[in-house]
């Protein structure tokens, strides 16, 4: 099977039928850190893979603008930054 990894992009060839979780373990990849994609579908850690399969491991990303922020008055009061920033 072909395993396409991202960040950095590289390809690894593995032989033999095995579960996704076994492939991840062999590559030293924590299951919580990637999405495993076969074709156009996400596959779970228990899915069986064949020699003819190509899977892609995409890192899980998070981020964005925070919804909440602390007030500068020191009392720890929270406010919704986004609502206050919108013009009415």
- Which residue would you say has higher pLDDT here, 64 or 68? 64
23-56, pLDDT tens digit by residue?
Answer: 999 999 999 999 999 999 999 999 999 999 999 9
* The pLDDT of residue 74: 44
Q: What are the structural domain ranges in the chain?
A: 2-59
Length of the chain: 88
Report d(CA 50, CA 16) in Å as an integer: 7
Q: Which CATH number fits domain 2-59: 3.40.50.720, 3.40.50.300, 2.40.30.10, 3.10.20.30?
A: 3.10.20.30
As a whole number, the mean pLDDT across the chain is: 81
CA 3 → CA 47, 75, 80, distances in Å? Answer: 15, 51, 43
């Amino acid at each position: 099977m072909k395993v396409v990894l991202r960040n950095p992009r590289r390809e690894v060839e593995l032989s033999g039928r095995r579960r996704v979780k076994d492939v991840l373990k062999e590559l030293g990849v924590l299951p919580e850190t990637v999405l495993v994609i076969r074709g156009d579908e996400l596959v779970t850690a228990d899915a069986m893979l064949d020699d003819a399969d190509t899977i892609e491991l995409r890192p899980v990303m998070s981020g964005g603008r925070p919804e909440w922020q602390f007030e500068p008055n020191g009392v720890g009061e929270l406010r919704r930054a986004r609502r206050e920033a919108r013009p009415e």
